[in-house]
């Protein structure tokens, strides 16, 4: 899993770098040449959708979403387990629905041969961010839930506590 996490992190770095370079190039083109590239807005917007899902998945794995720590850390261990199961079920339903409708969207774009307006690429390539991102979020959220559950039952130390003990 560590290799997969590193790949996700590097993919985020590459995608964000491409977004920044495209945006900077377009701004410079507007000021220097007096014209802008029509494809940059479309491409950066679609790349950003991939970045959002990959980033959300990585944060889920590391308990980086504010709601988890803020609400559950104040509860006793038994109530944390109940809250963890409830949140797990709700996020599973949310991302499963998003995955389902994302797949329907991609299949429809593929079936109708839709193209992106500025670049003329198959629209389903860009639409893949929704089902792929939803699937990745499902995996990473449950990976985080399992790690937290193990920490609550004493099978595994929570990452924060192990790190604090290592620093002391």
What confidence tier does 17 reach under pLDDT thresholds 50, 70, 90?
very high
CA–CA distance, 123 with 80 (Å, rounded to integer): 42
Segment 67-108, tens digit of pLDDT: 656 777 788 888 888 988 998 899 999 999 999 999 999 999
Cβ atoms of 152 and 84 within 8 Å: the answer is yes
Q: Is the pLDDT of residue 36 over 60?
A: yes
pTM, entire model: 0.77
User: Does the pLDDT of residue 153 top 80, yes or no?
Assistant: no
> Domain extents for the chain?
2-158
Average pLDDT over residues 142-165: 67
Span 127-148, pLDDT tens digits: 999 999 999 999 998 988 888 8
Phi-psi region of 7 (alpha: psi -120 to 50; beta: other; left: phi over 0): alpha
Under a CB-based contact definition with an 8 Å cutoff, are residues 45 and 16 in contact? no
């Amino acid at each position: 899993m560590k290799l997969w996490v590193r790949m996700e992190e590097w993919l985020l770095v590459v995608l964000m770098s491409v977004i920044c370079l495209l945006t900077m190039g377009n701004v410079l083109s507007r000021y220097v040449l007096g014209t802008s590239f029509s494809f940059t807005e479309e491409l950066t917007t679609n790349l950003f959708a991939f970045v959002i899902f990959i980033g959300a998945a990585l944060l889920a794995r590391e308990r980086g979403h504010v709601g988890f720590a803020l609400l559950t850390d104040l509860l006793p261990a038994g109530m944390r387990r109940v809250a963890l199961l409830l949140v797990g079920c709700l996020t599973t339903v949310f991302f499963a629905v998003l995955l389902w409708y994302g797949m329907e969207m991609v299949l429809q774009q593929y079936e109708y041969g839709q193209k992106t307006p500025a670049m003329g690429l198959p629209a389903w390539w860009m639409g893949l961010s929704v089902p792929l991102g939803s699937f990745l979020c499902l995996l990473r959220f449950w990976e985080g839930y399992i790690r937290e559950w193990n920490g609550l039952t004493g099978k595994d130390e929570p990452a924060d506590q192990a790190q604090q003990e290592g620093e002391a």
